[in-house]
Amino acid sequence: MPNAYISGTGMFVPERIVSNDDLANDYGIDTNHEWIHKRTGIETRHFADEGVGSAELALPASEMAIANAGIDKTDLDMIIFATLSPRHCFPGEGVYLQNALGLPEAGKFVPALDIRNQCSGFLYGLATATAMVKSGGAKHVLVVGGETHSAALDLSTQGRTIASLFGDGAGAAIVSATEEDRGIRGWWLGADGRYADILCQKVWDIRQRPFFPLGEDGKGIVEPEMMWAHMEGRQVFKNAVERMIQALMQACWAEKIDMKDIDLFLFHQANLRINQYVCQMLNIPEEKTVSNIQRFGNTTAATIPLLMAEAEKDGKLKPGMKVACVAFGSGFTWGSAIIDW
């Protein structure tokens, strides 16, 4: 049975940078840099232009990952796209990326799978790709995390708690088969649906008839509490810390390794204070972590592959390293992975 390893990584963020002060000055939000930075560690984030969605952001990230893997796009056997911000309710974003890559024109009709596990989405996708490769069902799988949050944020004082957190971007990884003794050693996923409404953006309720109200003119009506994301911050913080610690300990226990054996930790970039608290509880030294939330904000499913691509480019992620990834997000969902790079 082959091993599955990450043969190439890629990333892309839109050009426009929005600082904390820009949120106040350009959007009129009653906030400031000190308030946001103290609570989250975020200084800036990137916003996409109108007409640019998650697949458009994912395209250059995917092309970079394919090039870095040393393969051609026609070598891909599958696309897995993790996102909470697809352009439509359906179809999924993966088919748009497949088309943007030009695969149909090349006669390559690879399957495209969307994953809706929010901040944990990339790790759910990584687990799926690993299983596909190890089973022999695929040799090269493109796993993408891509998000366009900026179009669906309440950029007003009323929405400032959530609006200040999120940014747009995409990260990609190629999971490939190898006979070498390396790669993704294991993955551990979990969920607790009791907290599904603690962090959500409902927009509509498909159980209702019609699934959102209609006005007298026949046009749909979306109430603010349905349109914008809802988050109970304290509950999210508490559960994030507990589940991320649990997921890391579970991974190390299963692999029969000590936390000290990990060379680099890739934490989901939701809140720098959450990650710092987890490191404090597990005695993880700062030099074994990398962060980019300061510049990108929370890009949800894109955070871990963005970290991978940046760390590899900067020389902080090197062959032979033992890497631990961990994420927590809406659902609640969480996951971890151990990788011999």
The answer on 161 and 14 residing in a single domain is yes
Question: What pLDDT shows up at residue 13?
Answer: 98
CA distance 297 to 13: 11
Phi, psi of 79 (to 5 degrees): -120, 130
Q: DSSP letter string over 200-250?
A: E--S--TTSSSSS-B-TTS-B---HHHHS-EE-HHHHHHHHHHHHHHHHHH
Number of domains in the chain: 2
Does 149 participate in catalysis according to the annotation? no
CATH number at residue 277: 3.40.47.10
The answer on 250 and 162 residing in a single domain is no
For residue 19, tell me if it sits in a domain. yes
For residue 75, tell me if it sits in a domain. yes
Identify the active-site residue in 68, 239, 271, 298: 298
* Domain of residue 128, residue span: 3-181
Identify the active-site residue in 119, 252, 275, 292: 119
Identify the active-site residue in 46, 140, 149, 268: 268
For residue 159, tell me if it sits in a domain. yes
The answer on 137 and 126 residing in a single domain is yes
The answer on 249 and 150 residing in a single domain is no
Beta carbons of 290 and 316 less than 8 angstroms apart: yes
pLDDT digits (tens, 9 = 90+) for 271-320: 999 999 999 999 999 999 999 999 999 999 999 999 999 999 999 999 99
For residue 71, tell me if it sits in a domain. yes
Does 46 participate in catalysis according to the annotation? no
Does 298 participate in catalysis according to the annotation? yes
Q: DSSP letter string over 208-221?
A: SSSSS-B-TTS-B-
CA distance 288 to 257: 16
Question: What pLDDT shows up at residue 189?
Answer: 98
DSSP SS3 for 286: helix
* Confidence class for position 187, pLDDT limits 50, 70, 90: very high
The answer on 287 and 190 residing in a single domain is yes
The answer on 188 and 147 residing in a single domain is no
The answer on 156 and 93 residing in a single domain is yes
Q: Which residues contact 243 (CB under 8 A, 6 or more apart)?
A: 190, 328, 332, 334
pLDDT digits (tens, 9 = 90+) for 81-131: 999 999 999 999 999 999 999 999 999 999 999 999 999 999 999 999 999
Q: Which of 121, 154, 181 is the last residue of a domain?
A: 181
Q: Which of 124, 152, 181 is the last residue of a domain?
A: 181
